[in-house]
Amino acid sequence: MTMKKQILTFVVLLGTVCASADNAVATLHADQAGSKINKEIYGQFAEHLGSCIYGGLWVGEDSPIPNIKGYRKDVFDALKALQIPVLRWPGGCFADDYHWMDGIGPKKNRPSLRNNNWGGTIEDNSFGTHEFLNLCEMLGCEPYISGNVGSGTVKEMAQWVEYMTSDGDTPMARLRRQNGRDKAWKVKYFGIGNEAWGCGGNMTPEYYSNEYRKFNTYLRDQGDNKLFRIASGASDYDYDWTRVLMKNIGNRMQGISVHYYTVKEWNKKGKATIFTPEEYYLTLEKCLDVEPVVAKHCAIMDETDPEKKIALMVDEWGTWWDEEPGTIAGHLYQQNSLRDAMVASLMLNVFHKYTDRVRMCNIAQVVNVLQSMILTDQKGTGHMVLTPTYHVFEMYKPFQEATYLPMDLTTDSIKTTEGKMVPMISTSAARTADGQIVIALANTSLDKSQKLDIALEGVTAKTVAGRILTSKSAVDYNNFEHPNVVAPREFKDAKLKKGTLSVKLPAKSIVVLTLK
CA distance 37 to 40: 8
Of 87-95, 278-286, 403-411, 424-432, the segment contacting ligand AHR by CB under 6 A is 87-95
Q: Where are the beta strands (DSSP E) in 287-337?
A: 311-319
Can you tell me which of 93, 136, 456, 494 binds ligand AHR, judged by CB under 6 A? 93
Q: Which stretch binds ligand AHR (CB under 6 A): 1-9, 89-97, 128-136, 285-293?
A: 89-97
- The type of residue at 437 is I
Q: Is 136 exposed, middle or buried (0-12, 13-18, 19+ CB in 10 A)?
A: buried
- Binding segment (CB under 6 A) for ligand AHR, from list 79-87, 91-99, 281-289, 443-451: 91-99
Closest distance between ligand AHR and the C-beta of residue 256, in Å? Answer: 15
Taking contact as CB under 6 A, which single stretch among the options 160-168, 364-372, 434-442, 501-509 is the one that binds ligand AHR? Answer: 364-372
b/e map 432-452, b = 16+ CB within 10 Å = beeeebbbbbbbbbbebebeb
481 is catalytic: no
- In the bound state with ligand AHR, the residue whose beta carbon lies nearer, of 166 and 365, is 365
Q: Which amino acid, residue 113?
A: L
What is the C-alpha end-to-end distance of the chain, expressed in Å? 39
Amino acid (1-letter code) at residue 189: Y
**338, 508 in Cβ contact below 8 A?**
yes
93 vs 437, which CB is nearer to ligand AHR? 93
Contact letters for ligand AHR, residues 185-214 (x by CB under 6 A): ---------xx-------------------
Cα 364 to chain center, whole Å?
Answer: 6
Q: How far is the CB of 98 from ligand AHR (least distance, A)?
A: 11
Nearer to ligand AHR, 211 or 476 (CB): 211
Q: Burial letters for 19-41: b for 16+ Cβ neighbours within 10 Å, e otherwise? A: eeeeebbbbbbbeeebbbbbbbb
* Closest distance to ligand AHR from the beta carbon of 312 (Å): 17
- Each residue 366-385 as x (binds ligand AHR by CB under 6 A) or -, in order, gives ----x---------------
430 counts as binding ligand AHR under rule CB under 6 A: no
Q: Pinpoint the alpha helices (H) of 29-153.
A: 73-82, 129-139
What's the per-residue H, E or C state across 324-382? CCCCCCCCCCCCCEHHHHHHHHHHHHHHHHCCCCEEEEEEECCECCCCCCEEECCCCCC
* Minimum distance from residue 364 beta carbon to ligand AHR (Å): 4
Q: How far is the CB of 94 from ligand AHR (least distance, A)?
A: 6
Catalytic residue, chosen from 47, 131, 142, 316, is 316
Pick from 220, 228, 217: which is nearest to 253 by CA? 228
Q: Which of 376, 509, 498, 360 is nearest to 444 (CA)?
A: 509
For residue 110, give Cα distances in angstroms to 113, 123, 128, 263, 287. Answer: 9, 10, 10, 37, 41
Ramachandran sector of residue 125 (left: φ over 0; alpha: ψ -120 to 50; beta: rest) = left
Stretch that binds ligand AHR, among 85-93, 173-181, 305-313, 403-411 (CB under 6 A): 85-93
Of 50, 85, 91, 488, which one interacts with ligand AHR (CB under 6 A)? Answer: 91
Q: Which is nearer to ligand AHR, 71 or 94 (CB)?
A: 94
Quote the CA–CA distance of 33 and 254 in Å, as a whole number: 25
Out of 364, 454, 475, 510, the residue judged to bind ligand AHR by CB under 6 A:
364
Nearer to ligand AHR, 91 or 205 (CB): 91
> How many residues sit close enough to ligand AHR to count as binding (CB under 6 A)?
10
Report 23-82 residues binding ligand AHR (CB under 6 A): 47
Q: Is 206 marked active-site? A: no
Q: Among the candidate windows 88-96, 147-155, 381-389, 490-498, which touches ligand AHR by CB under 6 A?
A: 88-96
Would you count residue 92 as binding ligand AHR (CB under 6 A)?
Answer: yes
- Kindly state the DSSP code that residue 323 receives in the 8-state scheme: P
> What is the closest distance, in whole angstroms, from the C-beta atom of residue 199 to ligand AHR in the complex?
6
* Nearest distance in Å: CB 118, ligand AHR: 8
Q: What is the nearest approach in angstroms of ligand AHR to the Cβ of residue 109?
A: 28
Q: How far is the CB of 195 from ligand AHR (least distance, A)?
A: 5
Nearest residue to the partner ligand AHR, using Cβ: 92
Rg of the Cα atoms in the chain: 23
Beta bridge partners of 481: none
Cβ density class 207-244: b for 16+ within 10 Å, e for less: ebbebbbebbeebeebeebebbbbbbbbebebeebbbb
Name the active-site residue from 195, 211, 285, 394: 195
Distances (CA, A) of 347 to 41, 312, 314, 337: 10, 15, 11, 16
**Which C-beta is closer to ligand AHR: that of 185 or that of 320?**
320
Minimal distance in Å, beta carbon 53 to ligand AHR?
Answer: 13
Q: Which segment (90-98, 155-163, 177-185, 264-272) binds ligand AHR by CB under 6 A?
A: 90-98
Nearer to ligand AHR, 194 or 387 (CB): 194
- Give the side-chain half-sphere CA count within 13 A for 321: 23
Is-contact 55 379, C-beta < 8 A?
A: no
Chain positions 302 to 321 lying near ligand AHR, rule: CB under 6 A, are: 316
Sites of contact with ligand AHR (CB under 6 A): 47, 91-93, 194-195, 316, 364-365, 370
Catalytic residues: 195, 316
